[in-house]
Copies of this chain bind each other. A is one copy, B any other.
């Protein structure tokens, strides 16, 4: 790669997993951060495929859709599977993390207060125990990873999303899900990533 440029908000959320993959692979990139309050309202959104961030530009090619970008980078940096079934296992858990995020976000960003209250009840009583219980069991079976009993891009995906998930859940769920905490700790102590984690902007989510 002769040029690599990530454009995302000044937050971790949907962009941090991409940053983790690039740092893991020691791929130099420009880390352009758009301030949501100050820059985003006047940002030229028509230049974005779906008026959304993140965007990764590699050698002039504009990539969007964060999970598709992560999977692409994972193959480059060696964090994908080595068989079809291994890749399925990673894809499965990534989509499960993303489904969990989407359900939480649906409640979190609900504008209507009555609807929000109803949805939050389901989130607390059903969605959170169901999804975190499933992911915790998966992390336990895989010795502190989310797939293949080794570091894969699924671990980086969860880790990059973790502060945002904590914000959406409303509390630090990793206190009650020790194996998911292990996934995050394992990832953040990985060479390439740990140096980044030590110096990155301390975004709350």
Contact = CB atoms under 8 A, between A and B. Distances in A.
B112 A91 contact: no
A50 B91 contact: no
Interface in A130-175: 130-131, 134
A39 interface: no
Contacts of A94: 68
A85 interface: yes
A111 B102 contact: no
A80 to B, nearest CB: 9
A75 interface: yes
Interface residues of A, number: 35
Given A110-B115, A112-B112, A84 B92 contact: no
Number of this chain's copies in the assembly equals 2
Interface stretch (A29-37, A59-67, A179-187, A188-196): A59-67
B50 A69 contact: no
Given A50-B131, A75-B84, A134-B50, A92 B68 contact: yes
A112 B117 CA distance: 11
Contacts of A38: none
Contacts of A65: 91-92, 95-96, 99
Given A50-B99, A64-B92, A72-B91, 9 more contacts: A49-B134, A50-B96, A50-B131, A71-B88, A71-B91, A72-B84, A72-B88, A111-B118, A114-B114
5 contacts: A65-B92, A68-B88, A69-B88, A71-B87, A115-B115
